[in-house]
Amino acid sequence: MKTEKSFTNNAMIDQLIENIQKKGNPSVVGLDPTLQMMPGFLKEEFFGKYGRTPEAAGRMFAEFNRRIIDAVAETVPAVKPQIAMYEKYGLPGLQAYDETCRYAAEAGLTVIGDIKRGDISSTAAAYAAHLEGAEIEGERVHTWREDMVTVNPYLGTDGIAPFTEACRAQDRGIFVLVRTSNPSSAELQELELSDGRKLYEAVADLTIQWGENCVGSYGYSDVGAVVGATHRAQGEALRARMPHTFFLVPGYGAQGGTADDVAGFFDRDGLGAIISSSRGITAAYQKDAKYTEHDFAEAAAEAALRMRDALRSALSL
């Protein structure tokens, strides 16, 4: 599937792969803050300063994330902030999302915005600003700071094209929702089509097409796929079906997926997938009595190391 339009140097997927290789760790920390996850001393500080307001939540999340990023930046190649957790708190929440993206990028991490946007063509082009910024009177302004984002396929090619154009023109990447990790995902994604495929396989085949012109020097495309760790056999079959498609794999840890479950999502060289864990890393301090809330960043660092080692072991790296 490599084409003459392939990147050789700057494909975002190449940058992600090189980050993974440098850290020896195909995992990504999901930054999905909740108030429940915040240590009491941060709540006291920020509710004290800003009241029980969205601004307090946003500023607290940004501070929490900075400390988590500092703690894991040596270990992990990427972070994946889930924009919904910030959008919940309105504009101050989204400011924390943006600050988190910028802080992680400055720390040398690949920033995967879990935004799951999808709309008709002209509207999808507006969402593509997450990757390429907005043009204002002939000048490009970077209104957001993600390297890659997740996108929803339900609207078809014209809703994806603005993102794939940004992949090519601005060296960015996307992950198309193919097979999500949640319990109800089968309701639509596993519907059987008259041609014998399941719906998610049809989405997989479209994703292959969408990525054909963005294959980088490791043989993987800037157009990747979201494939949940909770679907082991399907993930392994998709690995064979989509040899040039990199997988973003949620559902590890808190949602039940293990390192053994996801080993078959990788290729023989140990590439082809990046496994995401959120609460399992960022709220690790709440799961083990040996930590106090003041150890939250250290607990996250240790959880990230354990995840790295579990994946290395399962992949025999």
191 binds a second copy (CB under 8 A): yes
Nearer to a second copy, 125 or 214 (CB): 125
180 binds a second copy (CB under 8 A): yes
Q: Which of 74, 108, 193, 294 binds a second copy (CB under 8 A)?
A: 193
105 binds a second copy (CB under 8 A): no
Q: Which of 92, 100, 93 is nearest to 64 (CA)?
A: 100
How is residue 266 annotated by DSSP?
A: S
Q: What is the dihedral of CA 200, 239, 27, 62, to 10 degrees?
A: -20
Size of the site for a second copy (CB under 8 A): 69
User: Token pair for residue 218?
Assistant: 């490791």
Q: Shortest approach of a second copy to residue 85 CB, angstroms? A: 5
Q: Which of 76, 89, 106, 1 is nearest to 50 (CA)?
A: 89
User: Token pair for residue 113?
Assistant: 């915005």
Segment 194 to 213, residues that bind a second copy, using CB under 8 A: 194-196, 199, 202-203, 206
Helix or strand run (H / E) with residue 154: none
Q: Which of 71, 163, 58 is nearest to 109 (CA)?
A: 71
The CA distance from 151 to 173, in Å, is 10
Is residue 1 packed enough to be buried (19+ CB in 10 Å), middle (13-18) or exposed (0-12)? middle
CB 291 within 8 A of CB 10: no
56 binds a second copy (CB under 8 A): yes
Stretch that binds a second copy, among 46-54, 71-79, 283-291, 307-315 (CB under 8 A): 46-54
53 binds a second copy (CB under 8 A): yes
User: Given 43, 88, 116, 198, which residue is catalytic?
Assistant: 116
187 binds a second copy (CB under 8 A): yes
Q: Shortest approach of a second copy to residue 11 CB, angstroms? A: 24
82 binds a second copy (CB under 8 A): yes
| Interface mask toward a second copy for 245-284; x: CB under 8 A | -----x----------------------------------
Check if 88 is active-site.
Answer: no
The CA distance from 276 to 280, in Å, is 10
Q: What angle do CA 37, 38, 40 make, to 5 degrees?
A: 125
Stretch that binds a second copy, among 7-15, 157-165, 290-298, 303-311 (CB under 8 A): 157-165
146 binds a second copy (CB under 8 A): no
Q: Where are the alpha helices (DSSP H) in 211-295?
A: 232-241, 259-262, 279-282
Which residues sit at the interface with a second copy, rule CB under 8 A?
Answer: 32, 35, 47, 52-54, 56-57, 82, 84-85, 87-91, 93-95, 98, 116-121, 123-124, 126-127, 129-130, 134, 136-137, 139, 141, 143-144, 152-159, 177, 180-189, 191-196, 199, 202-203, 206, 250
- Just list the catalytic residues: 116
